[in-house]
Structure 1
Amino acid sequence: PRVMQLARKAKGEVLLFGLTPKATIRAEDIKEKEQKIYFTLIYAAEKVAVELNVPGRFMILNALAAAAVGSLLGLSSKTVKAGLEAFKPVSGRMNILHLPNGVHLIDDTYNANPESMEAALTTLKNIETTGRRIFVAGDMLELGPQAHSLHSKVGAAAARSGIDRLYASGEFDAAVAAGAQDEGLQSANTITGSHDEIIEDLISWLRPGDWALVKGSRGMTMEKVVQGLKAWGQKTETNNE
């Protein structure tokens, strides 16, 4: 509603993008499969099949925003499709890493807030796998007086998403763990600790086919967990040769 109010007040050209029929640039027939997103891009009067090489339905709005800019610049649907399908996320933003030892990582360590945490958890939930799902959470920084309750809510959301194990690190790790336990995740599967302690426990627990999502605010340097697991995965494969 607010967007439409702003659109009506705008003096210049307005181009709407989104997931509703009112949007000129929109996505239809959305499907997720094998860590990719497939959808039909409505681009003015054209319908274009698009394959995004990233996981996460929230990425669709980013793609539509880019397509809208392309439309304003007069780009053809063919050019927009090629650009979207060539997109690769920057380091730390929903990077899929398949380790040589069969473990899979989702590196989303660049930053975090309550909304992006839940979006990432939804992505992990929707991964097609017979393995286990693990969430490694670092603190979300700069949340002020609501920090404790918001971290607890993230833990609760993680448990509701169906993860098998939760790791939390930071000042509010206990709040994350408590939130998960309140939603039924067993205490044995809620672990708190430093980067090194989490890496050590993960190494002893992970097995081929498992998926681990690692995420936290930039200041939490959760990429250290990813780096530690990558080194372990490579070493494990080398030792098995």
Structure 2
Amino acid sequence: MVRKILQAKLRLIAWLVVRKHSPLVIAITGSVGKTGTKDAVIKIVSDNGYRVRGTSGNYNNEIGVPLTIIGSTSGGSSWLSWFLIILKGVRMVLIPAAYPDVLVLEMAADRPGDIGYLAKIAPPDIAIVTAISSVHLEFFKSVESVATEKGSLLQYLKSNGTAILNADDKRVLDLKSRYHKKFLTYGIISKSDVQANNIALVYDKDPHLKAIVLAHAQQCSLILPNFIARHHLYGILAAISAGIALKIPLSNIVLSLKDLTPPKGRMTILPGVKHTTIIDDSYNSSPQAAVEALNTLKQLAARRKTIAVLGDMLELGSYTQKAHFELGHTLAKLKITDLITVGEKATDIAQGAIKAGMSKSKIFSFDNAPAAGRFLQDRMRQGDFILIKGSQGVRTEKIVKEVMANPEKAKDLLVRQGPEWQS
């Protein structure tokens, strides 16, 4: 009851703040890719003269979105802190003051109706739908139900706004037939308004991505020194589309992206102990993202030994067992050298790999991240390439910390290193 009262107050104040200051709102939803897209949008927009505020951390729900609009962090268990947050919001409504030109808001949906709740607070001028997949299924009947919920963001798009859709995701692209809006599409495979061609993982001093971006009869070379994963291009193309919707020249957009970095724990390369290479993808996991990560591991390692450390994929509902089993099958077909699973659900990854022909002698299962990390440190050898990935609840960043060459830098390099996570 108390939480509902707080939630209602925050919602009203955030709604009033948006109406008072009239920022341009860029809303981002989707099953995966929201944070990477948000970071790229913020980089492009802020580098091109706009004052920007964006979602921080996991502030993408009924509490987090109002906090972002107000410009505050959570009050935690302190009622005084929450009172001061509410007071700050009231002052923003009543007293003229500077406010960002643009709000970039992630909007998550764990249950039907979540997107509508958030979009009514801050109706978007630009709405981005990144991808629809089998995550957060616990409170949805099917992936199609997820698509309906995520796609409902377009219902709240302002009449003169632009909807930006991933053309390579059929469920996302199908939204074009449901809503009469102005659309921009982006993609790698399908023909789209903003498209990446000639994508390559380049091995200079450090591996990185490069591509040619085509948009409205223009083209520019895109170089991403800090990125290795092809699937990260989707968030970047979505952000480029947002820049185009804001009439920012393509050359300026591409220039802004040269020093963009992926969020912590999302396909970042770290040096490991024993002169190994770690691909840290420990932020979260889903079937689609895990397959993409395995493909990147295989491509990056070439013929060297590969170790995949894979934790439970959570919030998959009735698809849980099948999703883990299919991931194991994919891993075996990619001929990943060793598999280490973490958590009860991840044992089905092992079963899928065995069924697809992977030797049991190359598969090791653990109940928790610390035990898996200690085993991995003994198992890894010079030159190995190691992918570490799992849902947040598995805490696979603990494994990364165990095997990274510079654990003293963990607070700067890894996810979930604040005091609230140290238990």
TM-score by length of structure 2 reads: 0.52
Q: How does 1:130-169 map to 2 (within 5 A)?
A: 130-169=303-342
Structure 1 match to 2:276: 103
Q: Deviations over 1:52-100 (max 9, x none)?
A: 2311211121111011001011111222112222210111111110236
Structure 2 match to 1:57: 230
Structure 1 match to 2:389: 215
Relative distance call for 1:20 and 1:167 in structure 2 (3 A) is closer
Identity %: 29
* Alignment root-mean-square deviation, CA: 2.0
Separation in structure 2 between the aligned mates of residue 140 and residue 8 of structure 1, nearest angstrom: 32
Give the number of the structure whose alpha-carbon radius of gyration is greater: 2
Q: How does 1:153-232 map to 2 (within 5 A)?
A: 153-193=326-366, 194-230=368-404
Q: How does 1:20-169 map to 2 (within 5 A)?
A: 20=189, 22-34=191-203, 35-52=207-224, 53-99=226-272, 101-169=274-342
Separation in structure 1 between the aligned mates of residue 211 and residue 389 of structure 2, nearest angstrom: 27
Deviates more, 1:154-163 or 1:213-222: 154-163
Give 1:223 deviation, angstroms.
0.3
Structure 1 residues not aligned, in runs of 5+: 236-241
Structure 1 match to 2:182: 13
Separation in structure 2 between the aligned mates of residue 197 and residue 5 of structure 1, nearest angstrom: 44
Structure 2 residues not aligned, in runs of 5+: 1-169, 408-423
1:67 partner SS: helix
Give the number of equivalent residue pairs: 233
Relative distance call for 1:5 and 1:149 in structure 2 (3 A) is closer
Contact 2:339/2:363 (8 A) holds in 1:
yes
Structure 1 ranges of 4+ moved more than 3 A: 1-12
1:14 partner SS: strand
Give the letter aligned to residue 292 of structure 2. A
Relative distance call for 1:39 and 1:182 in structure 2 (3 A) is same
1:40 partner SS: strand
Contact 1:117/1:215 (8 A) holds in 2:
yes
Q: Deviations over 1:129-151 (max 9, x none)?
A: 44211100110112223322221
Deviates more, 1:63-72 or 1:99-108: 99-108
TM-score by length of structure 1 reads: 0.88
Contact 2:342/2:369 (8 A) holds in 1:
yes
Give 1:5 deviation, angstroms.
5.3
Q: Deviations over 1:163-216 (max 9, x none)?
A: 100000101232111111111211111000132332222222211211100001
Separation in structure 2 between the aligned mates of residue 36 and residue 182 of structure 1, nearest angstrom: 34
Contact 1:129/1:209 (8 A) holds in 2:
no
Structure 2 match to 1:239: none
Separation in structure 2 between the aligned mates of residue 206 and residue 118 of structure 1, nearest angstrom: 22
Deviates more, 1:104-113 or 1:145-154: 145-154
Structure with greater contact order relative to length (CA < 8 Å, sep ≥ 6)? 1
Contact 1:134/1:163 (8 A) holds in 2:
yes
Give the letter aligned to residue 200 of structure 2. K
